[in-house]
Structure 1
Amino acid sequence: MNNIAPEIMPIPKEPALTQCDVLVVGGGPAGSTCAALLAKKGFDVIMLEKEEHPRFHIGESLLPANMPLLERLGVAEEIKKIGLLKLGIEFNSPEHEHVSLIEFSDSWNKDLSWAYQVRRSEFDEILFRNAAKNGVHTIEKCRVRDVQIDDKNIAPVHVYAEMETGQAITFEAKFIVDASGRDTFLANKYKTKQKDKKHSSSAIFGHFHQATRLPGDKEGYISIFWFEHGWFWFIPLADGTTSVGAVCWPYYLHSRKKPLDDFLWDTISLSPQLAERMKHAKLVSETHATGNYSYSSTISHGKQFIMIGDAYAFVDPVFSSGVMLAMNSAFKGAEVVETVLKEPTEIPSKLKEFQEVIKHGPKEFSWFIHRVTNPMIRELFMYPKTILKTKASVLSVLSGDIFENPKIWPSLYAFKFIYYLSSVINLKRSWVAMKRRAHNIRDVDNTVQ
């Protein structure tokens, strides 16, 4: 590994053609990971980032399954310096007097028993600079405007970008990796982006000082608080800041009639348990609101491109899966690119493997996400069952251990059976929750239309 960072590629004063083996669109966790891996393999890689690091991003809670990926990428020690140790999850329900504290060490794989809470501006910059250290030509403040891909004749890909100054620049690459995140660059171009019809939500969030955390080694737990319109996250960071946000049905966010700061505080007051933890807290950041609509692309690749991370799919952040799924897809995506450029006879099998992996993650997390506001799921999280090792299997999912651990599936199926059985036993309660969910989704559809 070359520890000497290469010089940033100079931008020509006039529009010019810049060639490379691989062009990566987007410098977040997915793009930076994939670019670094490809550069290590000897490919000439250019990575374009529309903003400049460090830049704000939400999604501060990592999963234990992130840790081996960070080790393989060579940045584990740097992340340790900025992270707060995360050993478990706290669940709070307005219908229960107790709290449910679950530790990752109770999952199947004892090696995946911890993770970090991180400030994403720092985390993303570490990964981005690491890509540069490994030979990637990084260009910031450069937005991709268009691309020409000729899958029939396998001509070089031409990418047209624009610097923040308005200066045009053209790239010619053998392959393009779309890691553009929620900009979904290629999915928008090919019109393959589809929203998740079973789930839709919005989010409002900010950073706070002096929020009351859990004591001792539980300080780094992520806390989840259910409330009438959705759920809250409470994520403590190493510098004393706490990220607090509400993920709610869009109709609730649309009901806002006051400034975002006031609306966020009003929303926090709807959860007495969270409000108690926030009674001494002070908002120290801008309040952000976003349409947090889940989606996926109907395609994940072509002969000269792949989509990784949120450029392919985005799911609700309730289980903090985003960074892990992004980085995991980047590792698998790097294998695809290497195969395409070096071993073309192996392309079909490698693309099939890539497709299975990139679909598997969102699918497994979505089963829980679609039901997270259901009272039966709430009961099962507030009273986790050890029968048939269902608790261990659910914790394995929440740890992100869903790709290479066949042990979890029988017990996970047992958990789902218990959920469905409980729903039947409590049919009236389940029916009311299902009707409310369907009504909320219809309201979203009507709003969008």
Structure 2
Amino acid sequence: MTDSTHANAPQTGHYDVVIIGAGPSGSVAASLLHQQGKRVLVIEKQHFPRFSIGESLLPCCMQMLEEANMLEAVNQAGYQFKNGAAFNWQGRSTMFDFTNKFTPGPGTTYQVERGHFDKLLADTAAKQGVEIRYGDTVAAVDLSATPTLTIVDSAQHSYKISAEYLLDASGYGRVLARLLQLERPSSLPSRTAIFTHIEDNIDKVELGDRPFDRNKILISVHPDNRDIWYWLIPFSNGRCSLGVVAEPHLLGDLETDTSNILMRLVNQEPYLKQLLAKAKIVRECGRLAGYSANVSTLATDKFALLGNAGEFLDPVFSSGVTIAMQSASMATRCIVRQLEGESVDWQAEYATPLMRGVDTFRTYVQAWYDGRFQDVIFYESPNPKIKQMISAILAGYAWDENNPFVTESERRLNMIVELCQ
């Protein structure tokens, strides 16, 4: 859409909803609101395409993409098909087939380079008629009366925009949480992810009796330290996203050559070392530190925080984009009702239901790191029905109240941990 030169767009104005950020939650929310006849403006600080991690979608996302009339564009984009998750530790392999799950709904999705994927969603929203301004930064927010934002464009000109409602879809930028001092420490320990993209050349490696399935994300656990884990996300172009996650003291001095640290750790995991024997790094290594985040308030009658702008857990089960899109779908339903004169209880109708799913994911993230869920995943003779219920959660269906592993996540998980031990 337009750059922040705004050749034909007035720089001030009043909208039904202003959305901060054009990533997946912002684009989906904008599309859903536009479909309902609402006047929407998206303010995006960066210029697309831009790099982001969170490249392995979950099948549950497909429902929100369909709702936003974006599924056809995504299906035609040539992304890597994904039907599950594979896990690897100390020579043991196991996998979850997302088509064999407890909850109804899509069982397959894609693995995507986020620069291209996020631009595709934003471009699709723009084609639908959504106004997006790139290169503009939200500098201040005033909620004393009608919500008003002070925006600075790329030429450093300042202007004001008002709206009946604000949505923060700024991801790790966490714009409103910062400006309104809503940030709170996460209950999860501080961890660091280091990552890159590789030309994987896996098809040139002799793998013997352990073939590699490009249709699944591969999550590997360090053979000697279960606090260290790796992701390998294949793309359709012969490349992979590769990353390692650990508490900072386990990674060494990241001010030195990050790519050497990453590959040294990769080579400590035998199957990854074998898979990536001919791999070449094709982009500079990035890192994300202390990414887990929380807030004191998710929503009021003037604003709501979507996805990572509110709470981010951990990359281990690829829940970030799913939570982002789910929050967009839930928030926009409430906004439409409020704009049409209904009274909305934002805590009861948005924050609490959203957090039910987030807290389900949190149960499994915490249990991954304390080893309980790893014991369950690598258990050699799982109960098929229980595996289907867990598969549904790993496929993103963490809001399914019919699934006992959602409604009583901690108790049910502890029950099967005991069975596995």
TM over 0.5: yes
Q: How does 1:5-24 map to 2 (within 5 A)?
A: 11=6, 17-24=12-19
> Which whole-Å CA distance do the structure 2 matches of 1:51 and 1:256 have between them?
26
Q: Residue in 2 aligned with 1:85?
A: 81
Q: Residue in 1 aligned with 2:273?
A: 275
Q: Residue in 2 aligned with 1:175?
A: 165
Q: How does 1:29-428 map to 2 (within 5 A)?
A: 29-80=24-75, 81-94=77-90, 97-109=91-103, 111-150=105-144, 155-212=145-202, 218-227=213-222, 228=225, 229-256=227-254, 258-344=256-342, 346-348=343-345, 351-383=347-379, 386-387=382-383, 389-409=385-405, 413-420=411-418
- Per-residue Cα deviation, 1:21-57 (whole angstroms, up to 9, x for no partner): 2111111111111111111111111100000111111
* 1:393–1:145 CA distance, 2 compared to 1 (3 A): same
Question: What amino acid sits opposite 2:259 in the alignment?
Answer: D
2:73·2:124 contact (CA, 8 Å) conserved in 1? no
2:23·2:169 contact (CA, 8 Å) conserved in 1? yes
SS of residue paired to 1:347:
coil
Shift of 1:386: 4.0
> Which whole-Å CA distance do the structure 2 matches of 1:369 and 1:418 have between them?
16
Question: What amino acid sits opposite 1:337 in the alignment?
Answer: I
Question: What amino acid sits opposite 1:18 in the alignment?
Answer: G
* 1:385–1:322 CA distance, 2 compared to 1 (3 A): farther
> Which whole-Å CA distance do the structure 1 matches of 2:87 and 2:385 have between them?
20
Shift of 1:83: 1.5
SS of residue paired to 1:160:
strand
- Per-residue Cα deviation, 1:298-357 (whole angstroms, up to 9, x for no partner): 21112211111111110101101111110010011111211221133x312x65121122
> Which whole-Å CA distance do the structure 2 matches of 1:53 and 1:399 have between them?
28
Question: What amino acid sits opposite 1:117 in the alignment?
Answer: Q
Shift of 1:216: 8.6
- Per-residue Cα deviation, 1:51-80 (whole angstroms, up to 9, x for no partner): 011111101000011112112211212212
Q: Which runs of 5+ in 2 are unaligned?
A: none
* 1:8–1:42 CA distance, 2 compared to 1 (3 A): farther
> Which whole-Å CA distance do the structure 1 matches of 2:348 and 2:412 have between them?
29
- Which stretch shifts more, 395-404 or 46-55? 395-404
- Percent identity of paired positions between Structure 1 and Structure 2: 27
* 1:184–1:63 CA distance, 2 compared to 1 (3 A): same
* 1:104–1:162 CA distance, 2 compared to 1 (3 A): same
* 1:211–1:245 CA distance, 2 compared to 1 (3 A): farther
> Which whole-Å CA distance do the structure 2 matches of 1:132 and 1:280 have between them?
41
Question: What amino acid sits opposite 1:109 in the alignment?
Answer: T
Shift of 1:260: 1.4
- Which stretch shifts more, 402-411 or 391-400? 402-411
Shift of 1:405: 4.7
1:64·1:399 contact (CA, 8 Å) conserved in 2? yes
1:15·1:167 contact (CA, 8 Å) conserved in 2? no
> Which whole-Å CA distance do the structure 1 matches of 2:80 and 2:380 have between them?
26
Shift of 1:111: 3.9
Shift of 1:15: 10
SS of residue paired to 1:138:
strand
So what's the TM-score if we normalise by structure 2? Answer: 0.90
- Per-residue Cα deviation, 1:147-192 (whole angstroms, up to 9, x for no partner): 1002xxxx22110111122121211111111111111112122322
So what's the TM-score if we normalise by structure 1? Answer: 0.85
Higher helix share: 1
Shift of 1:110: 5.5
Question: What amino acid sits opposite 2:398 in the alignment?
Answer: I
- Per-residue Cα deviation, 1:173-222 (whole angstroms, up to 9, x for no partner): 11111111111112122322122233321000000013427999932210
- Per-residue Cα deviation, 1:342-385 (whole angstroms, up to 9, x for no partner): 133x312x651211222122211111111213344222101265
- Which stretch shifts more, 30-39 or 181-190? 181-190
SS of residue paired to 1:314:
coil
> Which whole-Å CA distance do the structure 1 matches of 2:9 and 2:98 have between them?
54
1:15·1:168 contact (CA, 8 Å) conserved in 2? no
Shift of 1:129: 1.2
- Per-residue Cα deviation, 1:91-114 (whole angstroms, up to 9, x for no partner): 1112xx331122112211354321
- Per-residue Cα deviation, 1:222-259 (whole angstroms, up to 9, x for no partner): 00111125100000001111000001112223534631
- Which stretch shifts more, 161-170 or 215-224? 215-224
2:188·2:292 contact (CA, 8 Å) conserved in 1? no
* 1:385–1:393 CA distance, 2 compared to 1 (3 A): farther
> Which whole-Å CA distance do the structure 1 matches of 2:25 and 2:9 have between them?
30
> Which whole-Å CA distance do the structure 2 matches of 1:239 and 1:375 have between them?
34
> Which whole-Å CA distance do the structure 2 matches of 1:411 and 1:300 have between them?
23
> Which whole-Å CA distance do the structure 1 matches of 2:200 and 2:11 have between them?
52
Shift of 1:8: 6.9
